[in-house]
Amino acid sequence: MNAAIPRRTGRIKRRTVPLVGMLFLGPLLVAALVYYGGAGWRPAGNVAQGMLFDPVEKLPDSALRGFDGSSLGKEALDGLWILVYLSRGPCEIECRKSLYDTRQVRVLLGQKDQRVRRLLIAGAPLPDPAYLSEYHPDLAVATAASAGSDLIQAFARDRQGLGDEDILRLDRVYIVDPLGNLVMAYESGFDAKGLLKDLRRLLRLSSIG
């Protein structure tokens, strides 16, 4: 009888390991299926306000650099949800409105704002650094030249045939998930309340970032 006890204990241990693994991975897998799966998985009424990239696609790696040539560093963005805005020129009316809206969205997230970072990728002529530092001190800024054409093109894979300069003029805001996937896009003149609603839902569903 004593010999049966170790065998029974071994079987219990073997069953316990997968169960423990499911406790950690289960919520992440369910969230991925719910949001990134087919439309049939999404509950009725949970209509995204922005344009959903389906399927999502991982953005190419890029050595982003700031206006002064310093490296942005992957650690500054990895593992976070990122609101990305692409711009060309000195950042005038549309650009300033989009940056203001994304700033307000992040503020309205409250304690969840630490899960979200804002990134501006700017083409020449570059925006005024003094303006950005005064009104958007939390904004990560990189040049389009350092981003490279592959990354710029990836942001407009639904608009094939556009050149890099045209993509920078689209005045779009994008959501990138903590795994580096391009998830959603918001066209020029987007509703900031819609962006906030979508982002809150993503943060609620996701256990990453």
Asked whether the predicted pLDDT for residue 39 surpasses 50, the reply is no
- Spell out the residues 6+ positions from residue 199 whose beta carbon is closer than 8 angstroms to its own: 81, 83, 105, 109, 116, 175
Q: Which has more pLDDT, 85 or 42?
A: 85
Backbone angles phi, psi at 127, to 5 degrees: -65, 165
Q: Which two tokens stand for residue 151?
A: 């990354």
Percent of the chain surpassing pLDDT 90: 65
- Rounded to whole angstroms, the maximal C-alpha distance in the chain is 82
Residues 197-207 have pLDDT tens digits of 999 999 999 87
- pTM of full prediction above 0.85: no
What phi-psi label fits residue 24: left (phi over 0), alpha (psi between -120 and 50 degrees) or beta?
alpha
Interval 62-86 mean pLDDT: 89
Question: So what's the pLDDT on residue 84?
Answer: 97
Interval 44-63 mean pLDDT: 81
The gap from C-alpha 199 to its chain's centroid, in whole angstroms, comes to 9
User: Helices marked H in 148-207 — which ranges?
Assistant: 149-154, 164-168, 192-205
Q: Which two tokens stand for residue 146?
A: 């350092």
Percent of the chain surpassing pLDDT 70: 76
Q: Which has more pLDDT, 102 or 57?
A: 102
Contact assessment for residue 86 and residue 144, using Cβ atoms and an 8 Å cutoff: yes
Contact assessment for residue 146 and residue 64, using Cβ atoms and an 8 Å cutoff: yes
Question: So what's the pLDDT on residue 7?
Answer: 53
- Residues 116, 142, 185, 61, CA torsion sign: negative
Interval 145-165 mean pLDDT: 93
What phi-psi label fits residue 105: left (phi over 0), alpha (psi between -120 and 50 degrees) or beta?
alpha
Least confident of 47-56, 61-70, 102-111, 118-127: 47-56
Residues 165-181 have pLDDT tens digits of 999 999 999 999 999 99
